[in-house]
Amino acid sequence: MHFETLKGWLDWQESLHPQSIDLGLDRVTRVFNALARSAHKKPVTITVAGTNGKGSSIAFLEAIYLAQGLRVGAYTSPHIINYNERIKINGIAVSDEIICAAFERIEAVRNNISLSYFEFGTLAALDIFSRSGLDIQLLEVGLGGRLDAVNMIDPDAVIVTSISIDHTTWLGETREAIAYEKAGVFRANTAAITGDLDPPKALQECATKINIPLLRLGHEFTYHKNATEWDWRYGDNHLDNLPAPQLKGEHQYRNASSVLTAIANLQPKITVSEQAIKQGLSSVKLSGRFQLIKSESLSKSEPPVLLDVSHNPQAAQALIDHLQADFKNTPVHAIFTMMNDKDLSGVISLMQPFIKHWYISPLDNPRTSTEIELKNAFQHCRINDVSLGFKDFLSSYSAAKVKAQSDQGIILIFGSFFLVSEYLTLFSNPQGQ
């Protein structure tokens, strides 16, 4: 099979496998082993799993290792605007041509083994990284851990950011069950770090089973905030007077602390200076996480726009904390939708006290909750300040803008990566201001 364009490859991949999500390592590992015969040496690897905070942790790691002058590959998902965002080398998304060439190599050895869209992308990233002379590769787990395609690779350090209820169809309905799946990325003789303040017992049990310590935030490593700076401690390691993380929110201190602990454990393999750490914390950027598009970057009559990809109750609580800290007395007009496998009522009920009015935006995605499902969720939460029936995202945005202008409020766009993508695609401001 051959396609001239990246879009051609991706369209074909979406139709190739009968399931969009098909957890399991057998099929993809067989293809990887065939692909790896022509590949080069595996770089030092950090794998990041968890419910929330994976993308932020990868962003911190990438910024710090780049500040050290190293050659860094980063694989993340999903993308916000362009597929290429998933595969970056030295902070730059690789080209269509490079990804298409990787897909060609995968197809040449696939031997009719069925692969999902995500598995194709994971194989492409690993193949590209193996040929790029990297010092380190950063791999974000797509779903769970134990059976995720990323888990083909033996990491040199592992971070589990947080455990929350999400993707219950595939991972289980309790934090313990989900933690077991996340802990599947642990390896013997490899640092296992978690930034979860209340880690489920399953994380510790899985670490004990393979005889490795579980490094826990608040126990083996800690952080302390000062007036404008913060300190990090891990055993005999410590860094003082660090700059506040450029990514906003209290949870980003937890993510950054976990990242510093991973970096400390890899110092024998890859040395990182205190200066590089400080520079990375100050320069890190990530679209769609408390991303504020200020009025100066829009026409003066338009209200500020806050973008956040939060799509489960834990992430919604972090968003609430941010709203309370930075927009306490500002009317919030929320453009919202969620995928149909998420906890709709849980997120809506948490956010309701902080939202003046809701605007439900349609999305052209088969996984999006229907308008009926959304309407029922709002009725279940006894919420009436909801506008529905918009024909597309732009019409919902226009309605929210009029109301936000009238009361000097802000527009909050949240609930889905796809919704944030709609705004950034239309208004082309991927890094914010």
User: What 3-state DSSP class applies to 219?
Assistant: coil
Read off the pLDDT of residues 3-51 as tens digits, 9 standing for 90 and up: 999 999 999 998 887 665 666 789 999 999 998 876 667 899 999 999 9
Record the tokens describing residue 417, joined without a space: 């990566």
Per-residue pLDDT, 298: 53
Per-residue pLDDT, 433: 39
Read off the pLDDT of residues 126-140 as tens digits, 9 standing for 90 and up: 999 999 999 999 999
Phi, psi (degrees; rounded to nearest 5) at 137? -120, 140
Give the residue ranges of the chain where pLDDT is below 70: 18-23, 38-40, 165-172, 295-300, 428-433
β-pairing, 410-414 vs 305-308, is parallel
Nearest to 432 by CA among 258, 301, 247: 247
Per-residue pLDDT, 342: 81
Which stretches within 284-392 are classed as H helix? 313-326, 344-351, 371-380
Read off the pLDDT of residues 179-190 as tens digits, 9 standing for 90 and up: 988 999 999 999
Q: Give the integer Cα–Cα distance in Å for 142 and 122.
A: 9
How would you label 231-245 residue by residue, b for 16+ Cβ within 10 Å and e otherwise? ebbbeeeebeebebb
Sign of CA dihedral 23, 26, 31, 36: positive
Report DSSP state, residue 74. Answer: E
Nearest to 48 by CA among 133, 130, 134, 162: 162
How many angstroms separate the Cα of 336 from the Cα of each of 352, 389, 397?
12, 13, 10
User: What 3-state DSSP class applies to 162?
Assistant: coil
Per-residue pLDDT, 390: 94
Q: What is the pTM of this model?
A: 0.92
Q: Give the integer Cα–Cα distance in Å for 180 and 184.
A: 7
Say if residue 430 is preceded by a cis peptide, omega within 30 of 0.
Answer: no
Phi, psi (degrees; rounded to nearest 5) at 117? -55, -45
Record the tokens describing residue 248, joined without a space: 């906003």
- Give me the domains of the chain, ranges plus CATH numbers: 6-283 (3.40.1190.10), 291-427 (3.90.190.20)
How many angstroms separate the Cα of 327 from the Cα of each of 71, 272, 411?
39, 37, 11
Per-position DSSP letters for 227-281, written without gaps between them:
SSEEEEEETTEEEEEEEPPSS-STHHHHHHHHHHHHHHHTTTTS---HHHHHHHH
